[in-house]
Chains A and B, each alone.
Chain A
Amino acid sequence: MSAVVDSHGHGHEHHHDHHGGYSGIMRWITTTNHKDIGTLYLWFSFIMFLVGGAMAMVIRLELFSPGLQWVNPDFFNQMTTMHGLIMVFGAIMPAFVGFANWLIPMQIGAPDMAFARMNNWSFWILPFAASLLVISFFMPGGAPGVGWTMYAPLTVQMGIGMDFTIFAVHLLGMSSIMGSINIITTILNLRAPGMTLMRMPLFCWTWLITAYLLVAAMPVLAGAVTMTLTDRHFGTSFFNAAGGGDPVLYQHIFWFFGHPEVYIIALPAFGVISQVIPAFSRKPLFGYASMVYATSAIAILSFIVWAHHMYTVGMPVTGQLFFMYATTLIAVPTGVKVFNWVATMWKGALSFETPMLFAIGFLFLFTLGGFTGLVLSLAAVDIQLHDTYYVVAHFHYVMAIGAVFAGFAGIYFWLPKWTGRMYDEKLGKWHFWLSTIFINMTFFVQHFSGLAGMPRRVPDYPLMFETWNKISSIGAFGFGLSQFLFLYIVLKAIRSGEKAKDKQWEGADSLEWTHLPSPAPYHSFETQPVIK
């Protein structure tokens, strides 16, 4: 007789040692448990969402009426810059890393992440980086007002706050790379027997591909900000035309990172939606293999479209044509995904609990954002619309609404598994409808002001744009306030929610629902599941 007994060899020693021997704040500082770290990421991202959101409120308050009302133009620029950086690097990315930490080990049948201690470091770098970003406001000259793209040569003229931002971006990049290495190693090495790559839940696939994107794109960003730093302080002229450098080179470098970054945010959101829609349609995901290939295709294409952000910089017509066609090509795999989500719902036994409402909201609104992206991919049109509010509307539909709605869908979907408690369904639905109405009030009208020619990143505007801006600002205040309802729903669920079932959602079929109780135990899968 021979037997193969499988184990990961890690993590088993601690299963009676519930929280690593520490309690209180030290438990959270020293934890190497993927669930604790996932929770830390999610709370951190929500706090940053509120901080970045507060900056959005300042922006919308100033834009409520024409003329300068509340802040000076320099501070306004600082607000738009920090709002972008904090929302992208501090809120959305960490939120999906939080999902990855919570879910990937449970979905592949692993006891934890491959590098548990590195996982702890990846998280604890973030609060320091975020502090640097916020502290930059109190430096001489204030925070940088260069926009989240940090274009040269404006960056050379900024005060010391720019250096704080550069350091913060380095730290955030380090955290992302450590997280990516961890995710790749975990998914490839720690899958339970029988959990082949093509049996993994789509969320794991989207994160595996996202981690590849991060590994490929992050050194480019690190190089870009380092060259900015050496141009500022060490006499180099990478981006300084006076010294023989080229400011346009910065834009190429930044957008070579920046466009994949859009998919670094979008792909995990696709993963969440691909878990939620089948569960509430009570059907398996339509076209699983095509979803995997479409995700890979999007990731590959994302590296050859960067210059569509730069049509107005000046480039040969052949260059414009190449980037235009490559960009429109992304609509094909994205279309495959949208088709598959709709086909999953087709003839399904649909029910419309809060996660499904947010998923359907995502489907409509992300598709709308994708469609305006197609409009902007056309060089001739983009030259008209570049740096107008049409672009602001487009990327907020994709990144703000797309990613945030997917995040809400995921939190409502997995909250019962994470906490063992159910949220208040009625309040969840209120949260959905308030968010949907107000977010569309905020951004849909920006298409009109953009088409009429209102430029972005300005604190003042002609009277003709007033109505659209008033509607947009009221929508933004409403959306911001609605998120306190979300906070109340989550806290209420944690404190006094009804006990959740082990398999709260009838149609959910990934391992965390079929093999683990609710709440999931602190150490899950100490005995490895075998997937048949």
Chain B
Amino acid sequence: MDSPQREWAFLGSSHGFSVLLKRNCSISPKGMICVFAMLAAVTLSIALGFALAGAWLVLPFAGLEVVALVLAFLWTARHAADYERIEFAPGRLCVEVAEGRRLRRHELDRGALRARHAPERGCVVLGVAGAEDEIELGRHLHAEARSGLADALNRTLRL
């Protein structure tokens, strides 16, 4: 799923209460592409200039460097748009988890749901006591904030 649809899913919320948890990325994907294009263009132009002057062995090194840059930026961008969205609706709880290119959406009955902080798993676990199906949330939070999230979820689920 691409970014505009993700954005629409959040903006379209009309349930009055939602929490969006996401990573902080201080540059937009478009900005990152511009930075990469500029670096690659400068490096390859310089290497091309030297190749034309007879020093063609600069070119493979410039190529290797551009590949390293691509890998680094892709690695960073892979999870740049990850998010978890929790929406409360009358009688239901909707959870949307975007991870890399995967988007999972869960609609759960609020009645028996409970959240607990699971430090050993580095997340907040949401599920029905005794049931096997569990949803892991709060991957983008530090331990203290995860504990706070579990408490807030339980309080709101009891409302």
Taking Cβ atoms with an 8 Å cutoff, the residues of A that contact B are: 1-9, 12-13, 15-16, 114-115, 177-178, 181, 184-185, 188-193, 195, 212, 215-216, 218-220, 222-224, 226-227, 230, 238, 245-246, 249, 252-253, 256, 303, 526-528
Assess whether A249 is in contact with B55, with CB atoms less than 8 Å apart: yes
11 contacts between A and B (CB under 8 A): A181-B68, A184-B35, A185-B72, A188-B26, A189-B32, A219-B62, A219-B65, A220-B50, A223-B62, A227-B57, A253-B58
Which of B18, B22, B58, B145 contacts A527, CB < 8 Å?
B145
Please report the C-alpha to C-alpha distance between residue A226 and residue B58 in the assembled complex, in whole angstroms.
Answer: 9
**CB of B122, distance to nearest CB on chain A (Å):** 5
Question: What chain A residues lie within 8 Å of B31 (beta carbons)?
Answer: 188
Please report the C-alpha to C-alpha distance between residue A252 and residue B145 in the assembled complex, in whole angstroms.
Answer: 56
Assess whether B55 is in contact with A181, with CB atoms less than 8 Å apart: no
For B80, the closest partner residue in chain A by CB is A189
For B83, the closest partner residue in chain A by CB is A4
Question: What chain A residues lie within 8 Å of B7 (beta carbons)?
Answer: none
B37 at the interface (CB under 8 A from A): no
B17, B35, B62, B75 pick with most chain A CB within 10 angstroms: B62
Assess whether A8 is in contact with B20, with CB atoms less than 8 Å apart: no
The stretch of B90-98, B102-110, B135-143 in contact with A is B135-143
Question: What chain B residues lie within 8 Å of A249 (beta carbons)?
Answer: 53-55
B153 at the interface (CB under 8 A from A): no
**CB of B79, distance to nearest CB on chain A (Å):** 7
Assess whether A219 is in contact with B69, with CB atoms less than 8 Å apart: no
Assess whether A215 is in contact with B39, with CB atoms less than 8 Å apart: yes
**CB of B157, distance to nearest CB on chain A (Å):** 15
Map CB proximity to A onto B108-128 as digits: 1 under 8 Å, 0 otherwise. 000000000000001000000
**CB of B26, distance to nearest CB on chain A (Å):** 4
Known: A195-B26, A215-B39, A222-B61. A2 touches B69 (CB 8 A): no
Which of B24, B59, B122 contacts A193, CB < 8 Å?
B24
Please report the C-alpha to C-alpha distance between residue A230 and residue B54 in the assembled complex, in whole angstroms.
Answer: 14
Known: A2-B18, A219-B58, A238-B55. A7 touches B35 (CB 8 A): no
Assess whether A219 is in contact with B142, with CB atoms less than 8 Å apart: no
Question: What chain B residues lie within 8 Å of A189 (beta carbons)?
Answer: 25-27, 32, 76, 80
Which of A1, A16, A218 contacts B65, CB < 8 Å?
A218
Assess whether B20 is in contact with A7, with CB atoms less than 8 Å apart: no
Please report the C-alpha to C-alpha distance between residue A227 and residue B55 in the assembled complex, in whole angstroms.
Answer: 8
B129 at the interface (CB under 8 A from A): no
For A193, the closest partner residue in chain B by CB is B24
Known: A216-B42, A527-B145. A223 touches B76 (CB 8 A): no
For A527, the closest partner residue in chain B by CB is B142
A2-B10, A192-B26, A219-B64 given; 20 more Cβ-contact pairs under 8 Å: A5-B140, A12-B122, A12-B142, A114-B76, A181-B72, A188-B26, A189-B80, A190-B24, A192-B24, A212-B39, A216-B43, A219-B61, A222-B58, A226-B61, A238-B57, A246-B54, A253-B58, A526-B142, A527-B145, A528-B24
Please report the C-alpha to C-alpha distance between residue A212 and residue B58 in the assembled complex, in whole angstroms.
Answer: 17
Assess whether A1 is in contact with B24, with CB atoms less than 8 Å apart: no
Please report the C-alpha to C-alpha distance between residue A9 and residue B79 in the assembled complex, in whole angstroms.
Answer: 9
B9 at the interface (CB under 8 A from A): no
Assess whether B122 is in contact with A13, with CB atoms less than 8 Å apart: yes
Which of A5, A7, A223 contacts B58, CB < 8 Å?
A223
Please report the C-alpha to C-alpha distance between residue A115 and residue B69 in the assembled complex, in whole angstroms.
Answer: 12
Known: A215-B43, A216-B46, A227-B55. A188 touches B142 (CB 8 A): no
Please report the C-alpha to C-alpha distance between residue A220 and residue B60 in the assembled complex, in whole angstroms.
Answer: 10
**CB of A355, distance to nearest CB on chain B (Å):** 29
Question: What chain A residues lie within 8 Å of B76 (beta carbons)?
Answer: 114, 185, 189
Assess whether A253 is in contact with B22, with CB atoms less than 8 Å apart: no
Known: A215-B39, A238-B54. A188 touches B24 (CB 8 A): no
**CB of A330, distance to nearest CB on chain B (Å):** 19
Known: A3-B19, A216-B43. A12 touches B57 (CB 8 A): no
4 nearest A-B pairs in the assembled complex, by CB-CB distance: A223-B58, A191-B26, A6-B24, A219-B61
Please report the C-alpha to C-alpha distance between residue A114 and residue B80 in the assembled complex, in whole angstroms.
Answer: 12
For B27, the closest partner residue in chain A by CB is A188
Question: What chain B residues lie within 8 Å of A12 (beta carbons)?
Answer: 122, 141-143
Known: A4-B22, A226-B61. A215 touches B69 (CB 8 A): yes
B23 at the interface (CB under 8 A from A): yes
Please report the C-alpha to C-alpha distance between residue A191 and residue B23 in the assembled complex, in whole angstroms.
Answer: 11
B47 at the interface (CB under 8 A from A): yes
Assess whether A2 is in contact with B57, with CB atoms less than 8 Å apart: no
Question: What chain B residues lie within 8 Å of A7 (beta carbons)?
Answer: 21, 23-24, 140-142, 145
Question: What chain A residues lie within 8 Å of B32 (beta carbons)?
Answer: 188-189
Question: What chain A residues lie within 8 Å of B23 (beta carbons)?
Answer: 6-9
For A114, the closest partner residue in chain B by CB is B76
B2 at the interface (CB under 8 A from A): no
For A190, the closest partner residue in chain B by CB is B26
**CB of B125, distance to nearest CB on chain A (Å):** 16
Question: What chain B residues lie within 8 Å of A178 (beta carbons)?
Answer: 68
B144 at the interface (CB under 8 A from A): yes
For A6, the closest partner residue in chain B by CB is B24
For B19, the closest partner residue in chain A by CB is A3
Assess whether B24 is in contact with A223, with CB atoms less than 8 Å apart: no
**CB of A165, distance to nearest CB on chain B (Å):** 17
For A178, the closest partner residue in chain B by CB is B68
Assess whether A219 is in contact with B47, with CB atoms less than 8 Å apart: yes
A2, A13, A195, A527 pick with most chain B CB within 10 angstroms: A2
For A525, the closest partner residue in chain B by CB is B142
